[in-house]
Amino acid sequence: MFRMLKARIQQGRRTIRVPLEAVELPERFRGRPALDASRCDDGCRACSEACPTQAIAIQPLRVDLGACLFCTACQDACPSDAIRYTTDYRLAARSREALILSEGEYPLAQALDAKMRRLFGRSLKLRQVSAGGCNGCESELVALGNVVFDLSRFGVEFVASPRHADGIVVTGTVTDNMEHALRETYAAVPSPRLVIAVGACAISGGPFAGADASHGGVPRDIPVDLYVPGCPPHPLTILDGLLRMLGRMESGGAREADPPRAS
Ligand code: SF4
């Protein structure tokens, strides 16, 4: 027992502090790409030809973060360093159009309106729907509950029943077999409800877009409130998007649950 306590004290604090902006990820992390179209040679299509998901368009140069797998094949193929992947994990957006990244500023996710923030800003229960994914995104969602990210300190928790949820978190490309389950789960969540699409598959179908059994992500008639790009997204990308959507990143950074939750 004494040895355990000693080891615990030696470990120190492992939980990431807020504001999250202070967190720096290692160089090998592939976050938001930085584009410099002025470096592109006329007629060069090396990046778009290398892309496995047609996420890149040229003239003007732009990347659809909702389809990007962050594989960096485009960066490797580019002969003039026009595309460079940075370590910026802040990628989530409130609309599909906002995921189209071009040169210049990338707009971060906006907060919900005042009414929705009053409802969900301090306590948000979510039901996860794995709609035909590889479990990569699901693993990162599970990681949000560990001691490093400690999602529940912000009042956000996953629940077993959609009847007890304020919204759903969708992962996977939405296969034929899972579409019905997704719609039933969405219908079982009381209104007003939130829909969060996590990962390239849920946003656009990812590498499975166009496959016979894939519906290309969340069906268009289910309105999505937050898109979290990545393949899979880093837990910090998910956490950053959630806190921005809930209006918890104002005044320079996210606050922990307010008032403190009873344990
Ligand atoms: S990093 Fe994204 S845009 Fe670049 S090749 Fe891979 S999937 Fe395509």
Q: Is 63 in the pocket of ligand 1 (CB under 6 A)?
A: yes
Question: Is residue 89 left, alpha or beta, with left meaning phi > 0 and alpha meaning psi from -120 to 50?
Answer: alpha
* Residue 212 lies inside a defined structural domain of this protein: yes
Tell me, using a 6 A CB cutoff, whether residue 51 lines ligand 1. yes
Q: How far is the CA of 47 from the centre of ligand 1 (A)?
A: 8
Tens digit of each residue's pLDDT (9 = 90 or more) over 163-185 = 999 999 999 999 999 999 999 99
Q: Which residues pair with 196 in a beta bridge?
A: 169, 226
CATH number of the domain where residue 197 is located: 3.40.50.12280
Q: Report if residue 234 sits inside a domain.
A: yes
39-68 residue pLDDT tens = 998 889 999 999 999 999 998 999 999 999
State yes or no: pLDDT of 100 exceeds 90.
Answer: yes
Of the chain, the percentage scoring pLDDT greater than 90 comes to 79
Relative to the CA of 64, which ligand 1 atom is closest?
3
Q: Which two tokens stand for residue 173?
A: 């490309």
Residues 171, 202 contacting (CB under 8 angstroms): yes
Residue 215 in any domain: the answer is yes
Examine residue 235 and state whether it is found in any structural domain, yes or no: yes
Given a cut of 50, whether residue 129 has pLDDT beyond it is: yes
- Model confidence over 80-98: pLDDT tens digits? 999 999 999 999 999 999 9
Is the CB of 53 inside a 6 Å radius of any atom of ligand 1? yes
Q: Is the CB of 72 under 6 A from ligand 1?
A: yes
Q: Is 82 in the pocket of ligand 1 (CB under 6 A)?
A: no
Q: Which domain holds residue 199?
A: 114-245
| Nearest atom of ligand 1 to the alpha carbon of 73 | 5
Which pLDDT does position 149 carry in this prediction?
Answer: 94
The response to whether residue 71 sits with its C-beta less than 6 Å from ligand 1 reads yes
- 189: CB partners within 8 A, 6+ apart: 127, 162, 163, 165, 166, 167, 168
Residue nearest to atom 8 of ligand 1 (CA): 51
Give the per-residue pLDDT at 85. 95
Which protein residue has the closest C-alpha to ligand 1 atom 4? 74
Q: What is the pLDDT of residues 213-261, one digit of tens each?
A: 999 999 999 999 999 999 999 999 999 999 999 998 864 444 444 433 3
At 195, is the pLDDT very low, low, confident or very high (cuts 50, 70, 90)? very high
Ranges 23-27, 96-100, 196-200: which has the least confidence: 23-27
The answer to whether 31 and 91 are in contact (CB under 8 A) is yes
Q: Which residue type, as a one-letter code, is found at position 210?
A: G
Residue at 222 is within a domain: yes
Q: Is residue 199 part of a domain?
A: yes
How many domains does the structure of the chain reveal?
A: 1
Pocket of ligand 1 contains residue 231 by CB under 6 Å: no
188 touches ligand 1 (CB under 6 Å): no
Residue for token pair 């179209």 = 37
- Domain annotation covers residue 259: no
- Asked if residue 91 belongs to a domain, the reply is no
Mean pLDDT for all residues in the chain: 91
Q: Could you give the 3-state DSSP secondary structure of residue 196?
A: strand
pLDDT at 222: 97
How many angstroms does the Cα of residue 70 sit away from the middle of ligand 1?
A: 5
Residue 141 pLDDT > 80, yes or no?
yes
